[in-house]
């Protein structure tokens, strides 16, 4: 058996139960591990010293089943900051030697609007988190897809990305939009979200978004398992033939069946759905595509987020859409179909931390200052 993460909550609780240890100690252990990690303490980990006042049997379980002399199963290999200081990319090494990336994006809540007025609050951060090493979906505009699929992350490995990121910024929002298809690692993602919303993290489900290419059978049970969670769908095309062209996995999830599934999800959840739509020049960005998309979505309560395509070097056959065409596309959706439509701000492009660029890549960039942006998560709430 490989090294297990102490944040694999289900396994930790089962081991405690087997040994007659009260489950109340789980949250206490996590709180101490997070606190010590934030302090950047190095050297050999001593469970009795770093997490005092546990039953002696708990220390035995922790040492023998959860990493022995270190509390986390992963380690922070390196951190890269964008030139505007708004984005930080964390390269995290897993216990099996593989790497995943997580991205911290810093925003100003006050730049978002609610009922026409600036939102209360101030600076905070969103963490874009990975659920797999690589991805099976093979989307042709996404760097992660070029890696192929290597393995699922455990719930603990997913949560540890939040632990590592919390040492740099106070994380308020989490988006499962990093490496991998979250709903192809369903059980681990659901457990990770439950851990994040419990003690000691206490994130609100309203502040967590799971993005999917449209895994229909998983969407059908998501609301029952995580009521209140935000759902984002990587639609990227208004017709099945275009989706299959740029997203090979779409062949398994016909657009008509996907839309029926989303209709049922919205009926149960009564929540807006975030529709992600990458703009690819000459592929899905013409006026006719805007009208097709508008007709497809006009009976839904959605926010459409238009995403400028981020180059991925020689891997890509696509070109970005011009700003004028993006603006015209947005105007059609807003003006003709009354669909709330935003354009995603470019963040972290210079460190390959932007949408579609995560592929375990180590650039060398310097640090500078810039003004924070509004966060898309403020739009769907």
- Residues with catalytic function: 101, 355
The dihedrals phi and psi of 65, each to the nearest 5 degrees, come to -120, -15
Adjacent-strand bridge partners of 173 = 126
d(CA 87, CA 351): 9
d(CA 1, CA 340): 49
Token pair belonging to 98:
């593989």
Question: Is 106 in contact with 86 (CB distance < 8 Å)?
Answer: yes
DSSP per position, 79-118: EEE-TTSSEEEEEEE-TTS-EEEEEEEEEEGGGSEETTEE
Question: Is 147 in contact with 359 (CB distance < 8 Å)?
Answer: yes
- Using DSSP, state whether 176 is helix, strand or coil: strand
d(CA 330, CA 338): 10
User: What is the rounded (10 degree) CA torsion for 194, 199, 201, 202?
Assistant: 80
Token pair belonging to 261:
């599934």
Three-state SS across 227-273? CCCEEEEECCCCCHHHHHHHCHHHHHCCHHHHHHHHHHHHHHHCCCE
């Amino acid at each position: 058996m490989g090294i297990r993460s102490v944040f694999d909550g289900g396994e930790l609780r089962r081991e405690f139960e087997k040994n007659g240890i009260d489950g109340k100690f789980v949250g206490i252990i996590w709180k101490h591990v997070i606190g010590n990690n934030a302090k950047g303490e190095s050297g050999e980990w001593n469970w009795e010293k770093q997490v005092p006042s546990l039953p002696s049997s708990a220390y035995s379980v922790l040492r023998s089943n959860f990493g022995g002399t270190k509390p986390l199963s992963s380690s922070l290999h390196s951190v890269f900051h964008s030139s505007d200081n708004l984005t930080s990319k964390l390269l995290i090494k897993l216990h099996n030697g593989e790497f995943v990336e997580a991205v911290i994006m810093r925003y100003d809540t006050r730049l978002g609007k609610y009922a026409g007025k600036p939102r209360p609050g101030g600076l905070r951060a969103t963490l874009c988190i990975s659920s797999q090493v690589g991805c099976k979906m093979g989307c042709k505009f996404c760097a992660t897809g070029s890696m192929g699929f290597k393995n699922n992350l455990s719930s603990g490995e997913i949560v540890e990305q939040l632990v590592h990121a919390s040492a740099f910024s106070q994380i308020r929002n989490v988006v499962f939009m990093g490496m991998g298809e979250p709903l192809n690692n369903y059980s681990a993602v659901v457990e990770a979200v439950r851990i994040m919303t419990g003690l000691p993290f206490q994130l609100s489900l309203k502040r967590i978004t799971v993005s999917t290419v449209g895994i229909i059978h998983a969407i059908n049970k998501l609301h029952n398992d995580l009521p209140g969670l935000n759902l984002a769908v990587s639609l990227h095309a208004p017709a099945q033939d275009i989706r299959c062209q740029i997203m090979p996995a779409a062949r398994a999830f016909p657009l008509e069946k996907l839309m029926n599934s989303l209709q049922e999800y919205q009926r149960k959840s009564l929540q807006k759905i975030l529709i992600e739509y990458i703009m690819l020049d000459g592929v899905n960005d013409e006026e006719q595509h805007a009208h097709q998309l508008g007709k497809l979505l006009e009976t839904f309560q959605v926010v459409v987020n238009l995403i400028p395509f981020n180059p991925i070097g020689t891997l890509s056959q696509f070109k970005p859409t011009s700003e004028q065409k993006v603006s015209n596309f947005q105007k059609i959706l807003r003006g003709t179909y009354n669909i709330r439509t935003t354009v995603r701000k470019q963040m972290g492009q210079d460190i390959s931390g932007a949408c579609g660029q995560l592929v375990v890549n180590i650039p060398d960039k310097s640090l500078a200052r810039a003004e924070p942006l509004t966060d898309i998560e403020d739009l769907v709430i």
